[in-house]
Amino acid sequence: MKVTLREKKLKTGKNSLYLDFWPPVINPEKGISTRREFLGIYIFEKPKDSACKLPLITQIILK
């Protein structure tokens, strides 16, 4: 199985991180095959200052 970390650009100016699986895997909760798992981690595309970087570090530590 191949897993790649990818990012998706959002309209809010942030990027959402997700895992891309190949071949698709079966979700044990739903019983359907899926290729993506969104991590709920968002990063700024162009952070203006160090205060914008802090939420990302906090999210990673809390997960």
pLDDT digits (tens, 9 = 90+) for 15-27: 888 999 999 999 8
R_g of the chain computed on alpha carbons: 14
pLDDT digits (tens, 9 = 90+) for 19-49: 999 999 998 888 899 999 998 888 777 666 6
Question: What is the predicted pLDDT for the residue at 6?
Answer: 93
User: Which residues neighbour 55 within 8 Å (Cβ) at sequence distance 6 or greater?
Assistant: 42
What's the number of domains the chain is made of?
Answer: 1
Phi, psi of 11 (to 5 degrees): -65, -20
Which residues constitute the domain of residue 44?
Answer: 2-62
pTM of structure: 0.69
Residue 35: name the closest of 49, 16, 22 by CA.
22
| Spatial separation of the C-alpha atoms in residues 54 and 40, rounded to whole Å | 16
Q: How far is residue 15's CA from residue 22's CA, in Å, rounded to a whole number? A: 22
